[in-house]
Copies of this chain bind each other. A is one copy, B any other.
Amino acid sequence: MAKRTSSGPEVLLGLLTIESMSGYDLGQLIHDSIHHFWNESYGQIYPNLKQLAASGFITGKKEKQQGKPDRQIYSITAKGRERLAAWLQIEPQPEVPRNELLLKMFFGSKASPATIRGYVDQMVERESAALQIFSAIGKQIVSQPQYPDTPYWQMVLRFGQLEVESHLRWAQESLAALRKLEQKRPAPPFRKEKPHATK
């Protein structure tokens, strides 16, 4: 009795309600706009599109271009909209968390505080960059005409902003704590330590 959700095809359907697009465009759009909460690789997108077209959820038209390779432009059908609507009625399942940074930090006493600090530093960089992108997306949304989608897009964006802010606050706290740990046990001493202290 599996709760197969998978959502892969439905993202594509959803994005095609905004505009008809090629697989390549969909990939770009996913990367540029919803990357902070969803991702699809081309290895998924192209086969999914093929299958969706074969089942009549979308239709494709070949578009010739000069200089560039041909594009397949897909449009959602009425049947596709039905499938999307049905999928929206299914309770979203919370994703299984897998945060490698936290995992390594959990075992941080087996490395040096400096190593872990380096990882937190990198996280700060990544998340700060994300904040920049968010504010750019935010400006784009408000400058656009008001679609019925607009309020939803704003909520989703706001999630990212609040979450990132909490991550950055945490990072500041943690960096301070790690610096304290470094002072206590100042950079690894010369003698080799046998690893049985924990037990």
**A71 contacts partner chain B, Cβ-Cβ < 8 Å:** no
Segment of A59-67, A131-139, A144-152 engaged in the interface with chain B: A144-152
Is the Cβ of A147 less than 8 Å from the Cβ of B109? yes
Q: Which residues of B contact A126 (CB under 8 A)?
A: 94
- In contact, B38 and A103 (Cβ under 8 angstroms): yes
Q: How large is the interface on A (under 10, 10 to 19, 20 to 34, 35 or more residues)?
A: 35 or more
CB distance from A27 to the nearest CB of B (A): 14
A residues apposed to B, CB below 8 Å: 5, 7, 10-11, 14, 17-18, 34-39, 78, 81, 84-85, 87-89, 91-111, 115-116, 119, 122-123, 126, 147-149, 151-156, 158-159, 162-163, 165-167, 169-170, 173-174, 177-178, 181, 195, 197-199
